[in-house]
Chain A
Amino acid sequence: MSQMKRNPLVLGNKTLKDVTDDICAPLERFPSKGWMGLFLAAKTLFLFYIATIAIVIATGIGLLGVNHPVAWGTMIITFVFWIGIGHAGTLISAILFLFRQRWRTSVARTAEAMTVFAVMTAGIFPLIHTGRPWLDFWLFPYPNQRGPLWVNFRSPLLWDVFAVSTYATVSTVFWFVGLIPDFATIKDRATNKIRRTIYGALSLGWRGTAKNWSHYEMVYLILAGLSTPLVLSVHTIVSFDFAVSNLPGWHATIFPPYFVAGAIFSGFAMVITLFTLVRIGWPEFKNYVTLDHMEVMNKIIMMTGLMVGYAYGSEFLIAWYSGNDYERYVFMNRAMGPYAWSYWIMICCNVVIPQLFWFKKFRRSIPVMFVVSIFVNIGMWFERFVITVTSLHRDFLPSNWGQYAWSIYDTCILVGSFGMFLTIFLLYLRVFPAISIAEIKPVLHVGKDEEGGH
């Protein structure tokens, strides 16, 4: 059996020590000015975000543009947006792991971190979008003295609570388990006691024995197996928030696959955005996250982009085929009504622009992929805007029709959420190994010949 010749996954003829040194470097040196600048900006935005949330909770959700008939707005849109972002991480680390896609090792750690942080960012929204956030705990089925009064298990919002919290838990555990051997490495390299203590505690007593590795591999495999259905289920259930209701434009059977595809689409776009930036900030990572990696992910972006494009088209077809006046009206209104601009932004960003990736030159061009990924992120936010707002703003009785009353608070909430995400992400880059040291070492030889050269 002749083996197919592949490009090496790690460039630069790295030795095992080089790998450890390279990956640990950002943790062990004083932060650069660039990082400091970005961090300060992100942190300021994060504080601003906290202040905005405090004002909204103190005064009322009416500060945002939600109204009658559009009772869900920026918070739900941005919630779905961030949940979607979170999908690429688990997909890369779990599904690609199970499929033995060894190129995933370089990007898995950071993609997964992104997942955890995106879910954290998203998780805030369902809590603060309610009218009385201080009573949010009523959404959990806990024993109580009111009868006991249980939650309504028929409500998709409740399923959402379970789905998102499960997803957040499992992906955090999965991510953390993957980090254990690397924490031990950092502990071993530590030159001061505090560092050694902290990373020692985080490494949970990892000693690197064969038994350790054997257990570790098994746990990792099981967690990958657990995470895999979650990748599909979380966004399926998020889509149920819409699909299970009876509102034209929401009530559609295509929603689960369409949402999952969209989530992977936006997640990979965010991975590309972040990695182009990481490669600029830490040039040594260019050897680990190579253009080949980026190209593979761009292919996935293009493919999932085509899938959402197909879903957009199919929605129109089904609306027409249903013969349902309300359904038809909603879709005509999307494309031609007062919010047509948002629909066409979505189409441009999600369907048209990713077509650039048919060309290898663009797939491998860092500036092009950065710009495209930003557009995809914008487009995917607008997709959720289109679904939420244009379906609600003109439904059954024309007397109810209205517009979303976008306010300055909507802007603050949307922009502020990026502050939260970036703050956590930048901290992560400083204190956690951004690439899995333990996993990268076994793939050093991929694509190399017997002599160790190319």
Chain B
Amino acid sequence: MKTTHDSINEKQTDRPQRDRTYWRSFEDLNDTPEFNQALQTEFMSSPIRAEAAKEGDNDKWARREFIKLMGASVALTTAAGCIRRPVQKIVPYVRQPEEVTLGVSNWYTSSYFDGQEHLGLLIKSREGRPVHIQGNPSNPLNKGGVSSRAQASLLSLYDPERLQAPKRNLLNEKRTNRETVAVSWEDLDSKVAGELQKGNSYILSGNITSPATQAVINDFGQGFGTKHVVWEPLGNDDVAEGQRVSYGEAVVPSYRFDKAETIVSIDADFLGTWISPVAFTKQFSSARKNPATMNRLYSFDSTYSLTGSNADVRFRIKPSQQLTVVMGLVNAVIKSGKATGVSDAARSLAAKYANAAQDLGIAPEKFQKVATDLLNGPSLVVAGGLATRTEASLQLQIAVNLLNSLLGNDGKTVIGNAGSSRLKASYADMLNLIERMKSGAVTTLIIYRSNPMYALSGAAGFAEALKKVPTVVYIGDQMNETALHAHYVATDNHALETWGDVEYAAGVYGVHQPLIRTMYDTRSFQLSLMTWAYMSKKGPQRLQTYETFYDYLRAFWKEEMAGKVAKGRDFETLWNDLLQNGSVGEVATSGSARSFKADALSKISGKQNSSSLELVLYPTVQIGDGSLANIGWLQELPDTVTKIVWDNYASVSLKTAERLHLKEGDVVTLTVNGQKAELPTHIQPGLHDEVVAVAVGYGRTAAGKVGNGVGVDAYKLAGVQNGEVVFAGSAAELTKTGKFIQLVTTQGHDSMEGRQLVVQATNKDYKENKEANIHRHHTWSIWSGHQYNGHKWGMAIDLNSCTGCSACMTACQSENNIHVVGKKYVFQGREMHWIRIDRYYTGDVENAETVFQPVTCQHCDNAPCETVCPVAATSHSEEGLNDMVYNRCVGTRYCSNNCPYKVRRFNWFNYAKLIEKPMHMALNPEVGVRTRGVMEKCTFCVQRIKEGKNKAKVEGRPLKDGDVKTACEVACPADAIAFGDLNDENSRVAKVFKAEPRAYALLEEWHARPSIRYMSKIRNNDQVTPPKHGHHGEAPKNEPAHQEGGHS
């Protein structure tokens, strides 16, 4: 090998002999050896070279070599600095896709399914990554509304703990996980395909509402003889089974809450967690927009559900009274003589419940009023959800169906044929499968995303049964409780990476579009099945032919679906229309009344077993069945009613707490069905005294860093009786342990203290005076105020529509990059939500009513925050916005102190630094991420205002009302929020500000002149509010406000 020095010498010898025509010195002319020596070392200024010269010609760098190398390395470093390291498979746009403009967001239709509810979505994509999820306004069901969970599912795409490649679990003899190792798809496929040859294979999945996926499963079953078992922890098999027994067909019917004038809900939390809460909220609130003709909701509530909170009249019951409620109403309806098609059997059965009101402890005239209202017009009676899954749940469903049939609701507000027949989840099938697993009849079990190791009661014996299955394949994207016990984990794509389709309701279909290429080495469930079929050469041709599920899906739609829905369009047009609109088909708005089967009544055996303390398990709005437990947004979303975050708890009434000497946070041992759980106590106003309510979905052990160990697993408290899993009504025992767990809530106080915050009136008050209970203050100022010559933004929030579902909070969190701080810091009062929903209890503590109030920055004209900031970091915009200049903020927090609404949030720590990759991809690039020490707050989605204005400008037209919609407004399933320009006379907000009698400003007398108007809540309960004697009492309008007070 040549040394560097050699090569220098070579170069020198290669040089031509020097010309002597011009010489610089005598030495040069004479060409003395000294001169040549000097010439060689002339540029030896480099110490390296000098060193080399001293030591002789060793392997040292010469100056030029050094400079050359240095230059190269600098060039390399520069290049390395310029080019992003390829951490992901990214390909630069060689030719920029037509639809992608850097800095401009694209919106794609897609869908979300959580096991019960379908939502049509519009997903915002920036530079190829989804950053925000909204409801699709053209979807016939959710009509733009969206749930918190659907929006938060975005974060699960970027969850750092999502599985990134197929895995293999090395299980020990006890079949617990010893080690998880990587496996190649080839190895996994050949192994699984081999196992499948042995037959006796089963697929366990949740509800499959995708026709094409169902087709893949069916095709697969055809090839391998695989049987498909459908199970959901929160399935509605009780409803479907009740329908089957009552009318003949197992279906989850379509309900029309918008068409009912009177709605009675027996523990069916249709506004929160039951079947399709977003669509139901849309329907329900649409019938309450006009307080003069609004519907009436009666709730018989054994938890304090969101539906109960929104009820006009709420009765607290315990689970064992549910049947009595319905049969009591049946009896009252039959006795009225107005019911249609009353059979003798029904009459005699109902007669047993003549004393229902007394049994329930409800005043008979109040109970009778429910029945009278039901008979008065179109009505709807619903019961369901975990709280009704008692041992008598089938009886309850039959009784509800009977009542609806007697009232003539079937076919009008309960439409059987418009419901979904794809919600097939069944606990009975699941228990049946477990039996077969135990007997060794299951050779291969493919589990698609279900998590029975967590969500199934221990009494069902799934864990033991699973040990008897020789090969377990889990297909999902998290190493959850069940995946840990699978031999192979065929890692699934995230929903946002997968093609699919969906049947929203009977006859309403949609295509589910992926928003991003698979981020990791994952493969969709459908393609896994197709691959195994291809390798084994089994199943119909189409299962083996297509290389991707997308091809299968297109072929399936072309062959099987196009005929049903195309309506004359050719397939490509249909496909494009589908992708653009998100759905095709109409929801059936009416159906025919089905005949109630007489023999169904024989199933109603009688009263339920009751006990002095009954357990109720219920899902919460934020966590649902617990599968999204690893999402911080959801854990930090306060419970809609209790406002507690990051925990579940045993709710008891005040009386029960006093009886057992329990205080908030005291840990109790809850013993039910032989199972024990230690939970902190929460004292819930308005809860039945003989009820202890616990939320499911908590206590995950393998959800991930965020979700692990939050709360206690309550699924295990469910019992198995007579082949049914029982979630409610079981006798419970509470013993105090002496331990304490701090329950953390975002709301410090539950009472309004007589202040005019949420104005509430009844329908009778409203009839008398549309401004009922609003105390108007006489305010004046020596200053004429700001002038707004262009736009003046404002918001109107209808408290009569708002159900408190909290979807707006998640929307805001996603849109505005709001950080999650964790339980410890929420306890210290450091939560960051820009919009919050205040919940106040009113009335007596035994039977408390609830009101909700979304509170965000009020963008006051006389903003108290603006005057006190010493560096002018918060200032008033020309359009009435209260701007927050993060860069200028020094963080004195004076603005927060001076804000009467306390809507400002401070970055106490450098939260942005804690965003773990790839979570940063979920950040909205249009909104800055705030640094430590800076105040932040609602901006009225100023980035959306800009976008809307720009769009109007580009299109050369004035801005229309509705062009700019804030994130909270868009998400709201109840359409409670309207945003717009107050200087535009025809805008919705301007009308509210000027003409709406129910509108009032929060803390009007403080004269901050907020840009938000609330509209009073009307409770349709036929009561009259007694006049108050306080400062904020109902004052005669001509009495000047400043003369009042001082007599409270």
Tell me the A residues contacting B by CB distance below 8 Å. Answer: 59-62, 65-72, 129-132, 135-136, 138-139, 149-152, 154-158, 161, 241, 244-247, 321, 323-326, 329, 392, 394-403, 405
Given contacts A60-B907, A398-B755, 4 further A-B contacts (CB under 8 A): A69-B902, A130-B890, A152-B867, A399-B840
Give every chain A residue within 8 A of B935 (Cβ-Cβ). Answer: 131
**Of A66, A129, A139, which is in contact with the most chain B CB atoms at under 10 Å from its CB?**
A66
Q: Which of B713-759 contact A (CB under 8 A)?
A: 747-755, 757
Complex Cα–Cα for A157 and B853 (A): 33
Against A, the Cβ 8 Å flags (1 = close, 0 = not) of B883-916 are 0000011111110111011101111111000000
Against A, the Cβ 8 Å flags (1 = close, 0 = not) of B934-965 are 11000000000000000000000000000000
Q: Is B871 an interface residue (CB 8 A)?
A: yes
Give every chain A residue within 8 A of B825 (Cβ-Cβ). Answer: 62
Give every chain B residue within 8 A of A329 (Cβ-Cβ). Answer: 753
Q: List 28 A-B contacts (CB under 8 A).
A: A60-B908, A61-B891, A61-B933, A62-B828, A62-B909, A65-B828, A66-B908, A67-B829, A67-B908, A68-B829, A68-B831, A68-B904, A72-B893, A130-B933, A131-B932, A131-B935, A132-B889, A149-B888, A152-B872, A155-B870, A156-B868, A246-B900, A397-B901, A398-B748, A399-B853, A400-B748, A403-B748, A403-B829
Q: Contact partner of B900 among A395, A398, A399, CB < 8 A?
A: A395
In the complex, the answer to whether B907 meets A131 with C-beta atoms within 8 Å is yes
In the complex, the answer to whether B897 meets A72 with C-beta atoms within 8 Å is yes
In the complex, the answer to whether A246 meets B864 with C-beta atoms within 8 Å is yes
Complex Cα–Cα for A132 and B892 (A): 9
Q: Is B60 an interface residue (CB 8 A)?
A: no
Give every chain B residue within 8 A of A398 (Cβ-Cβ). Answer: 748-753, 755, 757, 840
Q: Is B1003 an interface residue (CB 8 A)?
A: yes
In the complex, the answer to whether B901 meets A68 with C-beta atoms within 8 Å is no
Complex Cα–Cα for A392 and B755 (A): 17
A185 to chain B, nearest CB (A): 44
In the complex, the answer to whether B754 meets A402 with C-beta atoms within 8 Å is no
Complex Cα–Cα for A402 and B826 (A): 11
Q: Is B869 an interface residue (CB 8 A)?
A: yes
Name which residue of chain B comes closest to A62, CB basis: B908
Contacts A132-B932, A132-B933 given; does A151 touch B871 at CB 8 Å: yes
Interface residues on B, range: 35 or more
In the complex, the answer to whether A130 meets B892 with C-beta atoms within 8 Å is yes
In the complex, the answer to whether B829 meets A131 with C-beta atoms within 8 Å is no
Q: Contact partner of A60 among B752, B900, B909, B1045, CB < 8 A?
A: B909
Q: Is B838 an interface residue (CB 8 A)?
A: yes
In the complex, the answer to whether B829 meets A155 with C-beta atoms within 8 Å is no
Give every chain A residue within 8 A of B840 (Cβ-Cβ). Answer: 398-399
Shortest Cβ-Cβ A-B pairs, 7 listed: A131-B891, A131-B933, A62-B908, A323-B1045, A67-B829, A401-B748, A399-B838
A53 to chain B, nearest CB (A): 15
Name which residue of chain A comes closest to B836, CB basis: A399
Q: Which of B800-847 contact A (CB under 8 A)?
A: 825, 827-831, 836, 838-840
In the complex, the answer to whether A395 meets B902 with C-beta atoms within 8 Å is yes
Give every chain A residue within 8 A of B900 (Cβ-Cβ). Answer: 246-247, 395-397
Give every chain A residue within 8 A of B747 (Cβ-Cβ). Answer: 399
Give every chain A residue within 8 A of B898 (Cβ-Cβ). Answer: 245-247
In the complex, the answer to whether B829 meets A402 with C-beta atoms within 8 Å is yes
B585 to chain A, nearest CB (A): 43
Q: Contact partner of A396 among B755, B829, B890, CB < 8 A?
A: B755
Give every chain B residue within 8 A of A157 (Cβ-Cβ). Answer: 868-870, 892, 894
Complex Cα–Cα for A151 and B890 (A): 12
B1031 to chain A, nearest CB (A): 5
Give every chain B residue within 8 A of A132 (Cβ-Cβ). Answer: 889-891, 931-934
Give every chain A residue within 8 A of B853 (Cβ-Cβ). Answer: 399
Complex Cα–Cα for A149 and B871 (A): 9
Q: Is B1046 an interface residue (CB 8 A)?
A: yes
Q: Is B43 an interface residue (CB 8 A)?
A: no
Complex Cα–Cα for A151 and B750 (A): 40
Give every chain B residue within 8 A of A323 (Cβ-Cβ). Answer: 1031, 1044-1046
Name which residue of chain B comes closest to A73, CB basis: B893
B904 to chain A, nearest CB (A): 8
Q: Which of B994-1048 contact A (CB under 8 A)?
A: 1002-1003, 1006, 1030-1032, 1044-1046, 1048
Contacts A68-B829, A131-B934 given; does A399 touch B748 at CB 8 Å: yes
Q: Is B52 an interface residue (CB 8 A)?
A: no
In the complex, the answer to whether A155 meets B901 with C-beta atoms within 8 Å is no
A302 to chain B, nearest CB (A): 34
**Of B749, B892, B1032, which is in contact with the most chain A CB atoms at under 10 Å from its CB?**
B892
In the complex, the answer to whether B871 meets A139 with C-beta atoms within 8 Å is yes
Q: Is B855 an interface residue (CB 8 A)?
A: yes
Complex Cα–Cα for A392 and B757 (A): 18
Complex Cα–Cα for A399 and B896 (A): 15
Q: Contact partner of B897 among A136, A155, A247, CB < 8 A?
A: A247
Contacts A62-B908, A323-B1046 given; does A401 touch B891 at CB 8 Å: no
Give every chain A residue within 8 A of B855 (Cβ-Cβ). Answer: 397, 399
In the complex, the answer to whether A397 meets B838 with C-beta atoms within 8 Å is yes
In the complex, the answer to whether A396 meets B901 with C-beta atoms within 8 Å is yes
Q: Contact partner of A155 among B894, B902, B933, CB < 8 A?
A: B894
Give every chain B residue within 8 A of A67 (Cβ-Cβ). Answer: 828-830, 908
Give every chain A residue within 8 A of B831 (Cβ-Cβ). Answer: 68
A230 to chain B, nearest CB (A): 21
In the complex, the answer to whether A71 meets B1003 with C-beta atoms within 8 Å is no
In the complex, the answer to whether B897 meets A392 with C-beta atoms within 8 Å is yes
Q: Contact partner of A138 among B864, B871, B934, CB < 8 A?
A: B871
Complex Cα–Cα for A60 and B908 (A): 6
In the complex, the answer to whether B891 meets A130 with C-beta atoms within 8 Å is yes
Name which residue of chain A comes closest to B871, CB basis: A138
Give every chain B residue within 8 A of A136 (Cβ-Cβ). Answer: 890
Complex Cα–Cα for A397 and B892 (A): 22
**Of B871, B888, B907, B1002, which is in contact with the most chain A CB atoms at under 10 Å from its CB?**
B871
Name which residue of chain A comes closest to B753, CB basis: A398
B468 to chain A, nearest CB (A): 53
Complex Cα–Cα for A264 and B838 (A): 44
Name which residue of chain A comes closest to B872, CB basis: A152
Give every chain B residue within 8 A of A151 (Cβ-Cβ). Answer: 870-872
In the complex, the answer to whether B749 meets A66 with C-beta atoms within 8 Å is no
